[in-house]
Amino acid sequence: MKRILIVEDEIPISRVLSAYLEKHGFATYQAYTIEQASMLFDRESIDLVLLDVLLPDGTGWDFLQNIRTHSPCPIIMLTALGEVPDRLRGLQSGADDYMSKPFVAEEVVARIQAVLRRPTRLLNEIDARHFGKLRIHPQERQIFLHNEEVPLTPKDRALLLFLAKHPNQIFNREQLLGHVWGMDYFGSDRAVDLAIKRIRHVLKKWPKSEGEIRTIRGMGYEFHVETN
């Protein structure tokens, strides 16, 4: 179930959108200020944001720019500011779509569905990978959880990068040693188990609903993520 964050200070409009989206199978979260929106966005695994521009504690432009510094989450502007300059500003600032009020609920749903079918926006590099709040940049060899870089040893980082590159595939210890430690490694295969234990510890705040490293008894390890 896709999660939609509605950032709209007009309560009747927010409630209508929420009811209509839930009718079409979406889970919704409602925020009436930028502060509330930021809190919900950081706490929940939001799949798309419906964003008004004029809010009590700031503007949707500010929220949009802040999100775009660290997240590819799709954003649709939904506002009374419908002039061409406003539309251009929204799209040029990183919005995925722009709708003017008054709106037709069926069109809002159709726009959301269309945006969610698009490939995930990539930030900084072409093959960044996102697993909920876990964000992995293979080229830069950086891993972030809840927007904070995950502290890992070089070998543990290499192991996590390899597993994340092959989600939902099972690898035994010998295969992981060969891919990560190298074919000339002559140490114990317990090195894999210890590395997995350390990785799990630093990822303990990563919700299992978004993914996890699983032990497949008698077979090996798997970087498991749910697929739609």
User: Exposure pattern of 202-223 as b/e (b: 16+ CB <10 Å)?
Assistant: ebeebeeeebbbeeeeeebbbb
Contact 201, 156 (CB under 8 A): no
| Model pTM above 0.85 | no
Q: What percent of the chain has pLDDT over 70?
A: 89
Query: What are the chain's domains?
Result: 3-117 (3.40.50.2300), 129-224 (1.10.10.10)
**Confidence at residue 126, expressed as pLDDT on a 0 to 100 scale:** 41
**Residue 52 predicted with pLDDT over 60:** yes
**Confidence at residue 192, expressed as pLDDT on a 0 to 100 scale:** 93
**Confidence at residue 34, expressed as pLDDT on a 0 to 100 scale:** 93
pLDDT band at 109 (very low <50, low <70, confident <90, very high): very high
pLDDT band at 70 (very low <50, low <70, confident <90, very high): low
**Confidence at residue 125, expressed as pLDDT on a 0 to 100 scale:** 40
Cα separation of the two ends of the chain? 9
Stretch 72-89: mean pLDDT, rounded?
Answer: 78
Residue type, 47: D
**Confidence at residue 112, expressed as pLDDT on a 0 to 100 scale:** 93
Enter the tokens of residue 171. Answer: 């690898």
Minimum mean pLDDT range among 75-79, 80-84, 161-165? 80-84
Give tens-digit pLDDT for 5-39. 999 999 999 999 999 999 999 999 999 999 999 88
Stretch 94-121: mean pLDDT, rounded?
Answer: 83
**Confidence at residue 152, expressed as pLDDT on a 0 to 100 scale:** 85
Contact 37, 59 (CB under 8 A): no
**Confidence at residue 195, expressed as pLDDT on a 0 to 100 scale:** 93
**Residue 93 predicted with pLDDT over 80:** no
Burial (CB count within 10 angstroms: exposed 0-12, middle 13-18, buried 19+), residue 56: exposed
Stretch 100-120: mean pLDDT, rounded?
Answer: 84
Give tens-digit pLDDT for 141-183. 788 998 888 888 888 888 998 898 889 999 999 999 988 887 6
